[in-house]
A and B are shown apart, each in its own frame.
Chain A
Amino acid sequence: MDVFSSRLRSSEWRKLALLAPSILFITIFFVLPLIRFFLLSFFSPHLTLTHYVRFFKTPVYLMVLLTTFKISLLVTFVCLILGYPIAYLLGEVSPGKRNILLIFVLLPYWTSILIRTYAWITLLGSQGIINHTLIRLGILSQPIPLMFNDTGVVIGMVHVLLPMMVLPLYSVIVKIDRNLIKASYTLGASPSQTFRNVFFPLSLPGVWSGCLLVFIISLGFFITPALLGGRKSMMLSMLIQQEVEYIMDWGFGATISFVLLGATLLALFVYNHFIGLGKLMPGR
């Protein structure tokens, strides 16, 4: 028995050792840089909270924080409104049609964010396709501003993040027991009553995980707001890039980074509280 348990232990050590390379790699190239960077927000040049005080006492920076939350919430909401019908349809159609429709969702998903945002620039710009067409058709006399404002950022971000709403929603909706829907009809409920009282509540886990996933990614989103946004729709990620790349104020750049990370962790805390992060890992 003793021999057996010590042999077991040595095989467990071997399995633990398999993790060592990844842990070492992530420590060196992710955790240590992050800690060093985090310290910059407190020590520049000596222990101080001035950067954090400056952030939370300057209206301009608080506006950026507010805009980040506002745009992220709006993007999440629009993604849900557009993603739910798609996920519903995917759950109802035959497997053959479903695979074709899923390709329509996955193809933009696998196309790089930069290319998709570039396409939106050509569509939304003041000389862009939408304005150009509307003016040629005589609907508009002047181009309307669709870009370098919140509208452009929300359109572009919804386009990029919609698949991330559809996929978790679909994975819950497809598993809903259709007998419950039939039972609801048999008991005399109308289609809209059935949807409201049976189908939608059963799909809620998917709604929550889709919404929180999209919201968390939106908070730190960079490429789309940087290209489609204007000065008034600046988000935290753009402010970080500006501080580090142009102003080279590393201490303040680090401070904004950790405000953003704090907001992300807060959202994750909510996610974990209501859904559980274990869902991210298969088989648990």
Chain B
Amino acid sequence: MRRRAIHLCLLAASVISAQTGDGFAFRVQVVNSVTGAPIPSASIVLEKLDIPSTFGTSDSSGVFAGHVPSAGKYLLVAKRHGYQIAGNMPMGVTFDIEPSAENSAVVKMLPLGVITGRVVDQYGDPLRHALVHGLRKRSLPELGEYFEGFNSGETDDRGEYRIAGLEPGSYYVAAEYGRDMLRIGGSVRWPEIGGIVIFPDASDIAGGQQVEVIAGSTTRMNDLRLKLHRSVTIRGHVKPAPARGDLSLSRAGAHLGLNAFAIQGGMSEPDGSFSFEVLPGRYLLRASDGKSGKMSKEITIEVRDKDVDGIELSLDASYEINGRIIAEGADSAESLDYSKIMLHFLGMPVKFSSDGTFHATASPTAIYFLQQIPPDWYLKEVTVGGRTLSGKRFDLEPGTTDVVFHLRPDGGSVEFTSPSKERQFMVLLLPENGPPIDLESMLHGMPDPASGKFVVHSVPPGSYRAFALDETNLLYLYNPQMLLDKYKSAGTPITVAPREHKSVVVPAAKIPE
């Protein structure tokens, strides 16, 4: 009986301490998710719509305690160099602060990895100001395989570098020295000197080996030997001399996103001549005339240690589109007003004839944007050269290509109501079946803050899953296919029949941490 009384007293005390004149008490502890050790000096922010954020820094025990002005659901964000919030919640975790409870939370942060090593030149001398990157192989349906640069480190006077803040995983390590890195003061102009090496000793990613980075660990690499070259000049002519000649020079092979070999753009002189300063390597060069839309073929140039002269680029190729909109549904075809539809291929809007045909010029890799379709109509299919297109991007061959947009008049609409007016949500409407979905093609929008509603028009009939994402899982906006593949059950099933207008309330998507 006595023990119970003490218990009640303690409970009463905790309730009193939870709600004081300062607001509602909370305690947050930040810990290392691998070792469990407290993390001092982490920045902590508690965010809630319409009230000022509460922020502070964790102490030597990893603790930040304080008061917030009102109870409710908060977004708890913790940041510390060398760590990221563990689990699937990179932007923060939700923290429910209740009026009559001890509000405490533990934020687990994943310690990130570090790659260290040394860069030397061809003579074995330490190379200062080289940039060393951790690159991860990625793949996207529209872009194919590419290499994403994570953090990088700059070498010091001993050639030593540290690439910190790396998520666990496999990395290519690429060191570069070149453009913007040669820090020479004074008025003397020097030629560019530079080079690249990919661990262990490759000049191309195909010869590179990946390095495994483990959470909270430092991986020491063998020395990277970076051979320095002097830049050489590529010179040539564009024929016939274009009114506005644009030149594009890029390094051949996988795009690594490095500074020393970044894509260079340039303009030809009025007589069609051009020149580029480059480091040795294989390059792709193309010219285009912004006025006529004509292009040259893309040529490959092997650059060694001597200037390359006499390159000729002939503007004899054009990438043109002969297109049309086919309005399916015999009764409605005449009611479609083509002049109100907006279509462009990353250039000027195309002009439609009265029968829905159009002509446009585009780049070899095109992307279409079709907007302002009348509300009840929807885009059923796009064909390029007779083949059905998945996504919005497509490649063109030199010459003329047929592109057809098939519109139907029996689209539906869905009015979404946000799960809460207090918080911002992004609603995604993803088709359950069909080809992979990309960011550019999916239907999505943000409810109006005042009404909490928004309407998606031109919805093709079919089965969908709707997801209301908040700050904690908004990153799935950039990978909708993964959201559908992994967390389909967290989406609200919606079926839209022809010409159907639906109203739905979408609950916040519950995606496990």
Chains A and B come from one and the same complex? no
Residues of chain B touching chain A, judged by Cβ–Cβ distance below 8 Å, are none
Residues on A facing B (Cβ under 8 Å): none
